[in-house]
Structure 1
């Protein structure tokens, strides 16, 4: 457990540093999927490793050992994890779980707000045109979702650019990009080190929608012009908490659209898959070692009390209580 329990933590740091740089140069759709998988797996591995490390301190509490019928002395002998490391892990785990709970509630409220807004929009068509001079355009996820565009935005664009803008927003709805955002936000809440993955993921979603819009319209230049003009028109407008064509790093998006489509490359994604597999295997191995450690501590508890009648596989003697009493004698 000594080495394997730290592997998910190391993998998390590596992916947080390397993945955003690599995926910005790759095809956006597989990049978004890869970042979502990486965020989900590494966040789970991070919390799992912290839980296993924290358990080494929690299990050595005499009252806990008494309830679990295992030997505190055996745990201290066979588990080399320092108690200060276990204590810090316990605090980080508690903070991560609280943050994850708050972020989950926030995401639920956001999705409920989006669905209510979809229901309040006039008409029953996918496109909703607001009689508003403020330039804005965004997609609201729902069942089904809606595309909201103001007349002020439509006046800023030509016919071909309007078509590109709508194709971009449709790509957000069709790809259910709000679910990707939810995964990244929850992962970043559980582990702040994953925030670069969330930022890179948001950029990948906009690039994904850009590429689909370019395919639909048949012109990468028109999409680039639509993105640029829409961003300039809405530069001074507060953006809603929704997917919008003016989101992300617009200059980089325009530059990517004015260049040939990125070629598909499997090597970076294969390397990421190897790291995620290593994270999962190491966490499973650490959990197995932790279980074996507890079993050994239970057997040590039973062996220390041979005068007690034991049930099959169960030590009924309270080793935790005996060791607590012994500790009290030494103190006195």
Structure 2
């Protein structure tokens, strides 16, 4: 089973990160965000299932537990006797991944309730206005979805820039970007190496929303101005507690605002999407290999019982 651990937990995540480093800026943002988010999610799932398999193996190595199920704990231990530390390391990794994933889910689910607790007022057009000097705006998924905007953000923009901001945030909802961000954030929670992929997906969904909004309002410069004005207004102001998602004015990746503005001030260029299939293929291969690891675990327990 150790070879499965090496491939799915150690090798594939690092290769996916390396490929995303090379490819992310060369791909069209909207489809690239989807492919990379799902690739990260598949890679993380394969890693988590491998860790879970080794966690079960660690528990089966305990003589008392093995006795309850009629297993020979010596047979279970012997399968990875040369790396006895791996199953017990996986117990720790499993617990850490569960806590980290729960925090991510709670942060993503708390968006609209968080805004309403701060005194936000929901309007009929799906906009929740929060009375706060902080400069923030973000999309909250749901049925229906909502756009949360602080009064500080509204006061920082003129009417055209505010319309561009709303088009940007509504693009997030229309293109299901919160789900992609949740997938990539969960991947980063499950495997530390994939946090970098998560940050790249965050940037790509912002770029995708920028392009969609620019097309909707028909003015790339107005949206670029709104992004710049919001970022400048947010400087020096305290952020609101624990906002659930990345804000329009406060991206989670340093340097994202200048790059987004520069991209908007130039005509959008297309790009080949097929290179993004490479990390997807790696994720699929890791999932297939993980299936064999689970099969090997079942065989091992049957052998130990015999």
User: Where on the TM-score scale, by shorter chain, does this alignment land: which range?
Assistant: 0.7 to 0.9
1:204 aligns with 2:204: yes
Give the aligned partner of residue 245 of structure 1.
248
For residues 33 and 261 of structure 1, the distance between their equivalents in structure 2, rounded to whole angstroms, comes to: 19
1:294 to partner: Cα distance? 1.7
8 Å contact kept, 1:17–1:196? no
Q: Secondary structure at the match of 2:236?
A: coil
Equivalent residue runs for 1:15-30 within 5 Å: 15-30=16-31
Give the secondary-structure state (helix, strand or coil) at the position aligned to 2:147: strand
Whether 2:29 is the aligned partner of 1:34: answer: no
The answer as to whether partners of 1:100 and 1:189 remain within 8 angstroms in 2 is yes
Q: Distance in 2 between matches of 1:257 and 1:170?
A: 18
Q: How does 1:124-139 map to 2 (within 5 A)?
A: 124-127=124-127, 136-139=136-139
The answer to whether the aligner puts 1:261 opposite 2:283 as a matched pair is: no
* CA deviation profile, 1:11-41 (whole Å, cap 9, x unmatched): 1122234325522332121122123212322
What is the match of residue 221 of structure 1? 221
Aligned residue pairs: how many? 298
What's the secondary structure of 1:6's corresponding residue? helix
User: Partners of 2:190 and 2:228 in 1: how far apart?
Assistant: 35
Task: Please name the residue that 2:184 is paired with.
Answer: 184
Work out whether residues 115 and 141 of structure 1, in 8 Å CA contact, stay in contact via their aligned partners in 2: no
Mapped partners of 1:201, 1:210: distance in 2: 14
The 5-angstrom pairing of residues 77-226 of structure 1 reads 77-80=78-81, 82-108=83-109, 110-111=110-111, 113-114=113-114, 116=116, 120-121=120-121, 123-127=123-127, 136-149=136-149, 153-154=153-154, 156-226=156-226
Distance, in Å, in 2 between the alignment partners of 1:245 and 1:280 is 35
Cα distance change on mapping 1:68 and 1:238 into 2, 3 Å: same
- Inter-partner Cα distance in structure 2 for 1:268 and 1:45: 21
Shift of 1:243: 4.8
Question: 2:184 and 2:89 mapped to 1: Cα distance?
Answer: 25
Cα 1:129–1:83 change in 2 (3 A) is closer
Equivalent position SS for 1:264: coil
- Would the aligned equivalents of 1:139 and 1:145 in 2 still touch at CA under 8 Å? yes
1:234 aligns with 234
CA distance in 2, matches of 1:247, 1:260: 24
1:65 aligns to 2:72 (yes or no): no
8 Å contact from structure 1 (residues 54, 87) kept in 2: yes
Match of 1:292 in 2: 299
Cα drift, residue 145 of structure 1: 3.1
Q: 1:283 to 1:41 in 2, by over 3 A?
A: same
Q: Distance in 2 between matches of 1:61 and 1:132?
A: 55
3-state secondary structure, aligned to 2:270: coil
Q: Distance in 2 between matches of 1:196 and 1:7?
A: 19
Shift of 1:155: 5.6
Task: Give 3-state SS (helix, strand or coil) of 2:247's partner.
Answer: coil
Instruction: Report if the CA contact (8 A) 1:138-1:147 is conserved.
Output: yes
The whole-number CA distance in structure 1 between the counterparts of 2:56 and 2:139 is 44
Partner SS, residue 101 of structure 2:
helix
1:158, distance to aligned residue in structure 2 (A): 4.8
Kindly indicate whether the alpha-carbon contact (under 8 Å) linking 1:234 and 1:246 is maintained by their aligned counterparts in 2: yes
Aligned-partner Cα distance in 1 for 2:77–2:52: 17
The Cα shift of 1:204 comes to: 1.3
**What's 2:280 paired with?**
273
Judge conservation of contact 2:40–2:283 (CA < 8 Å) in 1. no
